[in-house]
Amino acid sequence: METLQVEQESKELIRRYRKLLRYAKPMLKDDDSRQIRKAFNLALEAHAGIRRKSGEPYIYHPLAVAQICVEEIGLGTTSIIAALLHDVVEDTDYEVEDIEREFGGKVAQIIDGLTKISGVGSKHESGQAENFRKMLLTLSQDVRVILVKLADRLHNMRTLDSMPRHKQLKIASETIFIYAPLAHRLGLYAIKTEMEDLHLKYTNEEVYQSIIDNIRSTKEVRDRFIRRFTRPIHQELSNQDFDFTIKGRVKSIHSIWEKMKKQNIPFEEVFDLFAIRIIVDVPEEQEKAVCWHVYSIVTDFYKPNPDRLRDWVSTPKANGYESLHTTVMSRTGKWVEVQIRTQRMDDIAEKGYAAHWKYKDSANKKESGLEQWISQVRELLENISSNAADFVDEFKANLYQDEVFVFTPKGDLRTLQYGATTLDFAFDIHTQIGLKCLGAKVNQRLVPLNYVLQNGDQVEILTSNKQKPSEDWLRFVVTSKARSGIKNGLRDEIRLIAEDGKEIVHRKLKQLKIEVKSDTFNQLTRFFGLTQVTDFLYRVGKGIIEPKELKKFKDASEKKKISTRPSNFTDARELGKLITEKTGRDDSILFLGQDLNLVDYKFATCCSPIPGDDVFGFVTINEGIKIHRTNCPNAPELLSKHGHRVLKAKWASDKRESFEATLEIIGTDRVGLINDVTKIISNELKVNMKSITVDTDTGIFEGRIVLYINDKKHLGELVKKLESVEGVVKVNRIKDK
């Protein structure tokens, strides 16, 4: 039986390897095929006998990553080799030097960027942030390190079923927090979309499955509508001899869910479930004229919404995306989004950065927005923050999606993040101009530093050598380049003030007869609700925290309100060990409602979890353990940036107590409606209400009820009953404000 399995796996391995070569063949030169074979053999030997959690041979994973690189991103030989070897240094005895000797410096550099830092993440502030920063440093030399990493992450997301629940949450959260926005920024829309959908699958499977079922059940009606809608357009484009393709594409599951949440509507009320895409194949010099020609054909048949025209052909997005979008009214009274683009534009939209390089030497030789963005990232990397988590925040701020287009006094177009101010614009031109910026003239009118730029503004920056950066500037800049420049400008001043603060604290602690130990400053920092010792010392030096306030710290210490074990505040693993030791259970899971005598915890107000919700514990800096729902709005950031502070948690099934939940009820007002609602709550289901507020306006009834329920199932029964009341249109569980 075992021999049969080995034979089947060998056949499957050969099949996958041949498929990789088949897709790579059009771009292979000279010695490329032999080098790929050598890399494959090395990976096969290095990972021999190792299996993934799914039970499959480990070698399937690097092969799959290489396949994504070539088939879905369009990368070449160097990236294929790097993908095949991307886990060799991290997981086996091979060193980066071995890779460089066999395959050269480029491959070694990419693999080094993809290899995690060993020993990071135990007591470190954030192991994930450190590794992400290391990977991004390689971006300054070679963007392929990010592209291979995205392929690696995509395959991990596709095979997440075999991982334990807490790992699924961590990997999915990192993906939505950093990798999906990064894929978007590099123009990899297909990969970004799949990552977002898979994140939803593993954090809110109920919603994910519900949307999939709804899409399937409406497919026939939708296909029929698309055929009818596109028929006249298809006919006219054929009559005019265009080489074209028309596709009807359903929007992603994640984007449908975001729209349902944002507009607070059910699936049935999402009107723009799909978009029609018209792709024409024409020479690059004719692209703009042809796109507008096709637009005129579409609007000959259907009336456009003038507020929904988006021209990314004349002004491409910063990630290189080009397309003409319009929304038109169909003959059945439905709005339909139509996207018009050329084959080149579609290639770039689907494969992003790699496709961009394919067309680099064509008619459009001007530096693209994508190249400009990578230049900005390189500048950011030159001014690296000492704190890895801060660096990730700065980088993430640079993964913006909405943009504003403004002009210099000479008429040069610059693209900035939506919400950017004149000070952001000054730093975008040059860091020194930003640091000396006094104000600006926008459209010949004098404006302050915090003026928010609008599309089409022409901006002239005013500077002075006497000007110095201020902390207040950080409140109204939005671009990472500006934030980084201001922080660097302030750093020397902050360091000097923090040194003064340290002397003040030392004197006061001596006066209070508090012994200064290695962890005293960390405890003080946590006590005052801060995360960085420098921040605490700076505030003391500035007089924001007065020396007399240190007596409160002494009083609290004496009452044992401050733990002398810093791990209790920063590392979930110590708590996990404590739970395992005290309970004798194999797994370090916190059972809610059962382990209160071991550790103290609170339910997070941002998502108000109730029994039945999928949850996790998070060790805060100075508020103990907070329990969050896995689909909490804050979950992606907490799980991806601070994995070392995440504690596995489950509801104890034998504990019955009441939890607060808030329901919003919307309907048409009628006499007796409130009475019917309260009867179901109090009499039929014996639920206690904490409060009820009702507002009626022109026949519309809106109510908010805070009540005590036992668990998610109990709440589900109540929602079903309330929805059946005459006049009630919608019942939603909402976050308690």
pLDDT in the model for residue 2:
66
E strands, 455-534, in order: 459-463
CA 359 to each of CA 141, 303, 587: distance values in angstroms, whole numbers, following the listed order? 21, 35, 54
Task: Inform me whether the pLDDT recorded for 385 exceeds 60.
Answer: no
Name the percent of the chain lying above pLDDT 70.
Answer: 82
Q: If you classify domain 659-734 with CATH, what class do you get?
A: alpha beta
Q: What is the mean pLDDT of residues 262-269?
A: 82
Residue from 91, 311, 350, 660 carrying the catalytic annotation: 91
Contact 705, 731 (CB under 8 A): no
Task: Inform me whether the pLDDT recorded for 656 exceeds 60.
Answer: no
- Using the CB atoms, write b or e for 426-458: b if 16+ within 10 Å: bbbeebeebbbbebbebeeeebebebebeeebe
Percent helix, percent strand, percent coil in the chain, to nearest 5: 55, 15, 30
**CA atoms of 701 and 689, how far apart (whole Å):** 19
CA 202 to chain centroid: 15
Residue from 7, 31, 45, 90 carrying the catalytic annotation: 90
Q: The domain 2-203: what is its CATH number?
A: 1.10.3210.10
Task: Inform me whether the pLDDT recorded for 626 exceeds 70.
Answer: yes
Task: Inform me whether the pLDDT recorded for 139 exceeds 70.
Answer: no
- Please say whether the structural domain 212-358 has been given the CATH code 3.30.310.50: no
Tens digits of residue pLDDT in 580-625: 666 666 566 777 766 555 667 788 888 888 777 888 888 887 677 8
Query: Which helix (H) or strand (E) segment is 619 a member of?
Result: strand 615-619
CA 635 to chain centroid: 11
Residue ranges of the chain that CATH labels 3.30.70.260: 659-734
Task: Inform me whether the pLDDT recorded for 513 exceeds 70.
Answer: yes
Q: Which fold has domain 370-488?
A: Ubiquitin-like (UB roll) (3.10.20)
90 catalytic residue (yes or no)? yes
Residue ranges of the chain that CATH labels 1.10.3210.10: 2-203
Most confident segment among 199-203, 263-267, 552-556, 641-645: 199-203
- How does residue 383 score in pLDDT terms, banded at 50, 70 and 90? low
Tens digits of residue pLDDT in 74-128: 888 999 999 999 999 888 888 889 898 999 888 888 888 887 655 444 444 456 6
- How does residue 293 score in pLDDT terms, banded at 50, 70 and 90? very high
Residue ranges of the chain that CATH labels 3.10.20.30: 370-488
Name the percent of the chain lying above pLDDT 90.
Answer: 23
Place of tokens 């939940």: 661
- How does residue 321 score in pLDDT terms, banded at 50, 70 and 90? confident
- Residue 137 tokens read as 């440093």
Q: Is the pTM of this model over 0.85?
A: no
For 74, left (φ over 0), alpha (ψ -120 to 50), or beta?
Answer: left
Using CB atoms within 10 Å of the CB of residue 558, give its burial: 0 to 12 exposed, 13 to 18 middle, 19+ buried. Answer: exposed
Other CB atoms within a 10 A radius of the CB of residue 6 amount to: 11
Beta strand 324-329 with 335-342: parallel, antiparallel or unpaired? antiparallel
Task: Inform me whether the pLDDT recorded for 253 exceeds 90.
Answer: yes
3-state secondary structure of 277: strand
152 catalytic residue (yes or no)? no
